[in-house]
Amino acid sequence: MDALEAKNRLRMASAATEQLPPAERDARLRQEVRAILQKTAKADQGPLLDRLSAAFPIWPPDVPPPRPPSDEEMIEQLRIRAHASDADRHRIEQMMRSAGLGAGLTSDDELAIRDKVAVDPAAQPELSRVVEAFLLLLGAMGDADQTVRKFLQEHGLGMLMVGVPRLRESVVKLLTLPDADPNRHARRADLESSAGQLVRAIALLCHWPDNFAEDASVRLAPARIEATVPPAGRFSKGTNFEGCWQEYRTRVGGRADESNVKAELLGWMAKVMRDTI
């Protein structure tokens, strides 16, 4: 542990024990010093104690110790620290969390995360990593939402997205509403609707090939066509190739035209999106 973090821990411990009886306060501070030394390499413990002694001199009994910083002074120090390096900010976050000042996820947040993903029970989700993952997922899902809308609009299926808010807009509206705002639940419902429509669009990749394969196997499979075409003559037992060809052409029907095939595929897609939950 470096000297700066050790000093800050002792200052916090000193402020927290200020109202305790002298003997109890002394015991608590000694316990904090032992905890600091346990996290410090043996070779560094001597120099660290020297620095702590210089930072926390023994005050004469007739001289009052300096007062702890006011709330306003502490906030000003935090404001200055906000412009520090990433390493310094991370250290400050860890110190505030250890002091119970809430510079991280709440217990409810952690439970929600663990409910969605299999986080190791011994691992601690980091707020900065949660934000990082959120931004990556938001970018990917926002792009997917835009691509789906463009595809459906270009192929005459834009009505499937009527009334469904755009995903990025739904996120922005939800993030900027305070908990007390009565519209918060409505904005959450909008986001759920946007995400649900993406699920239905992705489901196309899973379901429409099944529809196509089932239809093709029923209508165009050679064995099924042969089974429905009678032999060419009364005493013939061979395959009626001419009759099978005519039956095949009848079953293909409009599929001989590219635009009709495309329209049929789009119809399957629209049905899947309507039926998928």
| pLDDT bucket at 262, cuts 50 / 70 / 90 | confident
CA 213/CA 195 separation, integer angstroms? 28
Kindly tell me if the per-residue pLDDT of 210 is higher than 80. no
CA 130/CA 208 separation, integer angstroms? 35
CA 273/CA 204 separation, integer angstroms? 7
Sign of CA dihedral 131, 135, 137, 138: positive
pLDDT per position as a tens digit, 22-38: 888 888 888 888 888 88
| pLDDT bucket at 208, cuts 50 / 70 / 90 | low
The predicted model scores a pTM of 0.45
CA 192/CA 170 separation, integer angstroms? 9
CA 54/CA 48 separation, integer angstroms? 10
| pLDDT bucket at 277, cuts 50 / 70 / 90 | very low
Within 10 angstroms of residue 239's Cβ, the number of other Cβ atoms is: 14
For residue 276 the two structure tokens come to 């998928």
Long-range contacts of 195-199 (CB under 8 A, 24+ apart): 195/141, 195/167, 197/145, 197/148, 197/160, 197/161, 197/164, 197/273, 198/141, 198/144, 198/145, 198/148, 198/167, 199/276
Closest CA to 166 of 135, 137, 199, 198: 198
CA 269/CA 277 separation, integer angstroms? 14
For residue 129 the two structure tokens come to 């990593």
Kindly tell me if the per-residue pLDDT of 148 is higher than 50. yes
Lowest mean pLDDT among 135-139, 167-171, 226-230, 272-276: 272-276
